Amino acid sequence: MADQIKKESKIKKFFKDYKSEFKKIVWPEKGDTLKQSGIVIVSIIVVGAAIFLLDTGFAKLLEWLGKII
C-alpha cells in the first residue's frame, strides 16, 4: 500500500515538473524558423553536390585505372 502511494506521488511530481518545464519553452518566431530552414536546405544541397562530384571523380578515376591495368 505504501509503495502504491509513493508511486502515485512520483507520477504526480513528474507531471507537475513536466508542466513547469513546458512553460519555460521559448518558441522561435516564424521568420527565424524560415531562415534556419533555408540555411539547412542550402547546406544539404551544397554537401550533396560535393558528394556527387567526389563520387563522380572517383568513379572516373577507377574507370581510368581499370583501362590502364
36-56 core/surface letters (b: 16 or more CB in 10 A; e: else): eeeeeeeeeeeeeeeeeeeee
pLDDT confidence of residue 10: 84
Phi-psi region of 29 (alpha: psi -120 to 50; beta: other; left: phi over 0): beta
**Predicted confidence (pLDDT) per residue in 1-39, tens digit:** 556 666 678 888 889 999 999 999 999 999 999 999 999
Residues 6+ apart with CB under 8 A from 28: 36
DSSP code of residue 29: P
Residue 23: all three cell numbers together: 512553460
pLDDT confidence of residue 5: 63
Q: What is the pTM of this model?
A: 0.62
Average pLDDT rounded to a whole number, residues 58-69:
93
- Higher model confidence: residue 34 or residue 67? 34
pLDDT confidence of residue 1: 55
